[in-house]
Amino acid sequence: MIPRSKVIFPMKKQSARRPLVVITGAASGIGLATVQKFLQEGHRVAAIDRSEAGLRRLKRSALGGRARIYVCDLNQIAALTPLAQRIVKELGPPRVLVNNAGVWFYEPIEECTDEHWQISLNVNLVAAAALARGFVPAMKKVQGAAIVNVSSRNALSSSPKASSYDAAKAGLLGLTRTLAVELGGHGIRCNAVCPGVIDTPANRNEMNDPSFVRNYLGLIPLNRFGRAEDIANAIFFLASDQAAFITGQAIVADGGQMSGQNYAKIFEKTQWVPASSRRERV
């Protein structure tokens, strides 16, 4: 159970009828952009993150004063369903649950310890199920309820040295489909967003590496990295009534990287074609 001293309560009475959105990993990056998007659209937000300092910065932002903040480490699975039940008791049933928080360990398989595997599975996958378990009974009473899971492009196209992350995010897509089928009869939709490389604080080292930027942009048809706001907009769409007939799906937001490669762009040759595509006339 999260100590009450870790929760901040300022909330205007007139906002009580606004739809409630619960967002994990809310203190930075995609989570923070998603909080801001829903607040801009007039929703109430319960923001969950392990960083108390980050959540307090959110509270001091222009719109953040309207959010409720909850400090919680999603690796502590036993605390999550009780936390969900407590949020329902304090704020009412949420219309939207956004499972955004994630963690990754960049290491070869022989160096990925049991502890790292457990943390990765807990934060990226099991926490989403535990929070759904806590919130779904109340969400069944809310018209237009939706769950949006933030998976990863890596769930569909893997990278070396990312075994625990890729496996957990792939599992999250499986959970997304199962919840869509299981909860559809109750009017609850469940979808996922699969971001590619996004320019967030978690990727700051890569964004500051000119060699990485130059080479990786060659893989992205739109010729730019994603912004946190790009993913927040996709999340908002999937949670909205505009996506009322969409469930069990995963939207890939990667600037076109998975669609295919522009070899001329990658190799900086305007007329280059793979040798395997050349055919000699006979």
- Amino acid identity for residue 18 in this structure: R
Gap between the terminal Cα atoms of the chain: 76
CA 4 to chain centre: 26
Those residues whose C-beta lies under 8 Å from the C-beta of residue 41, and which sit 6 or more positions away, are 236
Q: Report which DSSP code applies to 276.
A: G
CA distance 58 to 27: 6
From the candidates 70, 106, 165, 263, give the one annotated as an active-site residue: 165
CA distance 88 to 110: 42
DSSP 3-state percent helix, strand, coil across the chain (nearest 5)? 50, 15, 35
Residue 165 appears among annotated catalytic residues: yes
Burial string for 61-70 (b: 16+ CB within 10 Å, else e) reads eeebebbbbb
Query: Are 160 and 112 a contacting pair, CB within 8 Å?
Result: no
CA distance 186 to 93: 14
Q: Report which DSSP code applies to 124.
A: I
Which positions are catalytic? 165
